[in-house]
């Protein structure tokens, strides 16, 4: 789960509403997350702290389960 193009855009759209956006993904997204006022956290923390989770993945590339519940 990388804070990619779509996740970045979602954070930008939500920013004026004072939403606390958490980002989870590979190392190197901290700068992207910080640029839009988001915080990079580990997956477990994201799941514990979130009221709403938005997942954006390329199914053709990501063949493994994103979340396994």
Which residues on neighbouring strands pair with residue 23, listed in sequence order?
40
| Residue closest to 1 by CA, chosen among 51, 62, 69, 63 | 62
Q: Where are the domains of the chain?
A: 5-49
Query: Own/partner pairs for 28-35, CB < 8 Å, 24+ apart?
Result: 29/2, 29/3, 32/3, 32/8, 33/3
pLDDT in tens, 23-63: 886 656 667 777 777 888 888 899 999 999 888 776 676 56
pLDDT for 1 equals: 41
């Amino acid at each position: 789960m990388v804070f990619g193009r779509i996740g970045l855009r979602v954070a930008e759209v939500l920013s004026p509403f004072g939403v606390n956006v958490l980002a989870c993904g590979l190392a190197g997204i901290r700068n992207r997350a910080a640029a839009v006022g988001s915080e990079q956290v580990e997956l477990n923390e994201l799941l514990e702290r979130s009221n709403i989770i938005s997942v954006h993945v390329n199914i053709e590339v990501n063949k493994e389960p994103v979340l396994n519940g």
